[in-house]
Structure formats: C-alpha cells, structure tokens
Amino acid sequence: MSGFFKSSIGRKVAMALSAFFLMFFLLQHFAINLLSVFSGDLFNEVSHFMGTNWLIQFVMQPILIFGVVFHFVMGFILELKNKKAQGVAYAKNNGAANSTWMSRNMIYSGIAILAFIILHFIDFWFPEINHKYIAFLPEDPTRYFPELVEKFHSPARVAAYVVAFVFLALHLLHGFTSAFQSMGATAGRKKTLQNIGKAYSIIIPLGFIIIALFHHLNHH
C-alpha cells in the first residue's frame, strides 16, 4: 500500500477517489441547503435527522473530515512533486503552452477553498460540537433554520461565501475532468465527461451562492 502512494499514478488515483467522494458530499450538502429556500420546517426536519443520527455523526462525519484532510494533503504533495518535475523538464516543456491557467494554479484555488472550509467550520461545525458534546444544551429540532439565516445577515460573510464558491467553481472545472482522467476514462468519453463536469462545476457553486444571497436579501 505504501508503494501505491509513492507512485505517481497511485497518488493521482487516490486524489481522484477523494475528489469523487467530496463531490458526492457537496451534492448532498447542496440538496439539503436548497430545502431552506423552499421550507424552513423541512430544512429543520432533515437537519435534525442529520445532526442526531449516530451513523452520520460518528461514522460518516469522521470519514468526511478525513476525506477533506486527505484530499488537501495529497493535493499539496502532488503540487510539490509536479514543481520538482517541472524544474527538471523546464527546458523541454512550456507549461503555459501545454496546460490551462486553472490546471497550473489548482494549489491557489485549493488554498482559498481550504480557508473557506475553516470559516465554515467556525460558523457551523464548531457551534454544533459545542451545543451537543461540550455544553450539552437541550436539542431543539426547530433551531437549524434560524441559525442558518442568522449566519447570512452579515454582508462580509456573504461576500466571503460568494468568493469562495467562485474559487470552488474554478477548482472543479479542472478537477472534475482531471479526476476521471486519473481513473482511466477513455478518450471517447472525454467530451461527455467535460460537459458533465462543466455543468456540475457551475450549477452547484452557483446554487450555493444563490442560497446565501436569498437568505441575506430576504431575512436581513
């Protein structure tokens, strides 16, 4: 197994698998957040289930956190390896001519997204942990929607969310296709996968932006 991660192909496959896992989670997270636009009661009901179900809290949540950490650590390792390889082959290869701006700057969009995840944890995850496992406050199934809306009162926080999801869209536009290529997708499927990737990479981040703006404008 250690040999797998030491190989270039192994690292790229591991990166791709963690990317697929996080993209699936992002889709599920978006679906739940979208409920808050249509029904606060339904959002409360689903959030209460997610927040109190032991399988989600003690199995899926730790796996998700591991997936996030693994993806970013593997991303930094791949970036360092690529920089080293480019240094050796610089005379033969013009990176700007052979790759897109986004593919050469995934590390920067990744750092921006990581900063947003930290903000998101401070906004939502840390208060949840404190509520349930530190302060041991009584559970109120109706608290989730008001807590969500309160977070989007601040224009600065909403602006940070918008910028973060723009970076996420840029990151996904390259990362989606790259992940499938790492898993050995055939050239014949490349165009289809690129179209699916573009749709996902634009619709999901744009959807999160719309949700943030909706609550800011309607509950300010």
Domain harbouring 192, CATH code: 1.20.1300
Q: How far apart are CA 156 and CA 126, in angstroms?
A: 20
- Residue 110 pLDDT greater than 80, yes or no: yes
Highest mean pLDDT among 7-11, 22-26, 78-82: 22-26
At which residue do the structure tokens 């339904």 appear? 42
What would the mean pLDDT of 28-55 be, rounded to a whole number? 95
Q: Structure pTM?
A: 0.83
Total domains, the chain: 1
Q: Are 179 and 19 in contact (CB under 8 A)?
A: yes
Q: Are 90 and 183 in contact (CB under 8 A)?
A: no
- Residue 173 pLDDT greater than 80, yes or no: yes
Q: What is the pLDDT of residue 137?
A: 84
Structural domain of 124: 2-218
What would the mean pLDDT of 163-188 be, rounded to a whole number? 80
